Amino acid sequence: MDIFLELSIIIGITALISGFMRLLRQPLIIGYIVAGILVGPYFLDIVNSTETISILSHIGIALLLFIVGLGLSPKVIKEVGKVSLITGVGQVMFTTLIGFLICTMFGFSTLTSLYIAVALTFSSTIIIMKLLSDKGDMKTLYGRIAIGFLIVQDLIVIFILMFVSSLSNGFNLNDILFGTMLKGLGLLVILYFIGIYVLPGIIKIIAKSQEYLLLFSMSWCLVLAALFYHLNFSMEIGALLAGFTLSISPYRYEISCRMKSFRDFFIVLFFVLLGSQMIFADVTLYIVPIIVLSLFILVGNPLIVMTLMGMLGYTRRNSFLAGLTVAQISEFSIILIALGVKSGHLTTEILALVTSVGLITIAGSTYMMLYSNQIYAHISKYLKIFERRGKKVDEHKYHEAEDYDIILFGYNRIGYDLLKYLKKTKNKFLVVDYDPETILCLAKEGIDCRYGDGSDSEFLNELNFSKVKMVISTIPDFDTNLLLINRIKEHNDKAIIIAVSTDIDKSMELYNNGATYVIMPHFLGGQHTTTLIENYGFDFDRFLEEKVAHIENLKKRKRRGQEHPTHDRE
């Protein structure tokens, strides 16, 4: 079949399946994988150009990791580096040990048990990055910690895959490891100097053309990914470092925004290919091990992470949310078992067993992450054992007073202009935001603020709403605003509640539940323009003054890293 025709059919089927999933309010990732299984060898058997599709899907992975790298500033690494390293290494060690014991209990040989146990330790960086991005949680503290320990996992899996490959091919392991380490250190040093001294000047010149900025960024991402792959490193690490070298650039947000559409298209092919390569053999003899191992990944892995983060002094909420990101196995897990089959260490039935565990845990963890706030609300009281007493390292509380006239939830974009007004008033106000970097910046300016998530009912219990006169939420999430309204109304019927919505029906529902006013940003733009025309008429000079003021406002926002959302979810 012609590759163009094949890709067209695959994309068409994926669109139909994903549309059906959307109607059922299911995650689109599940639709992509189901479409992959459908077009694979067990059903329609359409996927023949596997190599071409694999190349395209790798482009999606590279772009995904590149965009993640753009957000990994040195400040972020300093903040979450320690907890990510300890949690990443600790989770791999404990999962391997417990997984090995479970496998030996089911009668698997020592070598088979070791292979399965190690395969169970790795979580899918690609899936988690996609889910964090879809939820808008990439900048949250738990999101940053999760990204950190997933990178640690990826580094560990590189060496394990190298080790298994060297056994099967008869290479000298010492030469590979030492040669690789020297090459890796050399590359890191070179990239450090390029990122600090070379790229800023180049980007400044290139940024004059938006089209060329996009082309350069994409080429920089793919060239570094290809270089690392050629030198026997992970392509993903190369793409991540490509983004990281541009993370100090003032144009990083613009680059990220322009590349997201390309990322979303190519990454779909990765999940379709993953589904098409799922291997289903006769696993009836392994039904019980599959169920037990799946439950261990879905429940046991999060518990391990929660225990480790709790010992490091983090709140049980951030520990829980970060723990859910390791509740599935990775595509690397299947690759590792496939290498074991190729080496003659394992049978194809073991590959089918791990594939089944992968399908169950990927589907299960996707739902768990998407509905993590609702799950946490029901079980938070049982998670106190994972939280140390006393002050937590992730509280980020920068205020002394307990009673405020105004509480502002969400500083970015809309909150930026609101804060300028609040500073001019004599009212006592508190700013709440879930981005720890934003909170640190506000604290340095002497503004009362604290880290927190409006969807966290326990956090809301810590705020005193009884005397507040006004609560403003710039958070676009409907469920979060509904929770806020209900919680405020429980303590204070007279408080003015202002929320944000991008949907008319949901705006009406917020009004029906007690919102005093609902901001609809897209509609307000037309109202604002109408007001300008009414006030200025055809006065060119007054419009020019408005233009100058607006440009200055946009420059300030740009310096603070704010961007206008490309769609409602952002």
d(CA 164, CA 178): 16
- The residue whose two tokens read 């704010």 is 562
160 close to 153: Cβ distance less than 8 angstroms: no
255 close to 202: Cβ distance less than 8 angstroms: no
Q: Sort 165 into a burial class: Cβ within 10 Å, 0-12 / 13-18 / 19+.
A: middle
Question: H or E element: which one contains 407?
Answer: strand 406-409
Q: Which of 155, 149, 163 is nearest to 115 (CA)?
A: 163
Q: Which of 496, 129, 106, 95 is nearest to 333 (CA)?
A: 95
Q: Which letter does DSSP use for residue 325 in this model?
A: T
The one-letter amino acid at 331? E
d(CA 481, CA 475): 7
Residue range 397-519 in CATH 3.40.50.1220: no
Distances (CA, A) of 344 to 100, 109, 337, 352, 432: 20, 14, 11, 15, 57
Q: What is the pLDDT of residue 295?
A: 95
pLDDT along the chain (570 residues), means of 10: 86 91 77 87 84 86 83 70 89 94 94 93 84 81 87 79 63 60 80 87 86 91 90 80 85 81 83 75 81 95 94 90 91 79 82 86 89 88 84 71 88 80 87 85 87 85 89 90 92 91 90 92 80 86 88 76 52
Q: What is the pLDDT of residue 53?
A: 87
Structure tokens at 189: 């040093």
d(CA 436, CA 469): 26
- The residue whose two tokens read 């970015």 is 412
Half-sphere exposure of 315 (CA within 13 A, CB side): 19
29 close to 366: Cβ distance less than 8 angstroms: yes
Enumerate the domain spans of the chain: 1-48, 49-386, 397-519
Distances (CA, A) of 305 to 86, 302, 350: 10, 5, 27
Q: Sort 64 into a burial class: Cβ within 10 Å, 0-12 / 13-18 / 19+.
A: buried
Residue range 49-386 in CATH 3.40.50.300: no
Q: What is the pLDDT of residue 567?
A: 43
pLDDT digits (tens, 9 = 90+) for 15-67: 999 898 888 767 777 788 888 889 988 888 888 888 888 888 888 888 888 88
